[in-house]
Structure 1
């Protein structure tokens, strides 16, 4: 199990008990400038105070469990609109949004999510019939920002 998955397993319940959803964790950077970022969500939105509260909790707990030996900078952030949607929960939360779906074969289409199944998604594509796509065929899904 990689570090971010392990951290998600450790902290998901704690973050939920604080009233947030743990959307994702990233650990990036070079040897001397690593950044550990926790992305959190709440349907009412995320404030700076929310990030500070979660950061203080995580900072203390990360020091206690001491599983990251390198030095790093801790960040807590709300989910960025430019980030890909990775989980069924991400997609369910954005069900009414126009999505840009990129498949592994290079095909790209715009659609709204209609239904989440065990191994696939059903998308409503404008002026076309609903389309079922297996989860393992999908490279990335983003919210399509419309101006």
Structure 2
């Protein structure tokens, strides 16, 4: 269970890191373009300034798109993480619930076995005690009857 959760988490993190790597590459390429545009600016004056502005706007558009993509992927990553955590919590709850039910069954099973063993022993003791009590009571009644009638 833990290995699949880790694999899913690593796959999601890998996807986000891949997008970040692409963003870094794009930023590096745009930085190189900006440097090239800067050199042309020194050489070409206002024409280079217009190109630089266009390149900068293009950079901002790409950066905005890439940032929006990264944020969207981060949002989907958060949703996937929340769903994964929910599923993990549910699995842990189910396992704990199953363990507690199994423990309760074990306790009830042991109690039934213990109660059954005590019941037979108790029955034998009660039978013997009842027989002795009945014999003593019969003897006492006979003695009272014998001594009670001979004295009168």
Q: State if a TM-score over 0.5 links the two structures.
A: no
Q: Which has the larger radius of gyration?
A: 2
Report which structure shows greater RCO (CA 8 Å, sep ≥6).
Answer: 2
Structure 1 or 2: more strand by fraction: 1
**TM-score, with length taken from structure 2:** 0.20
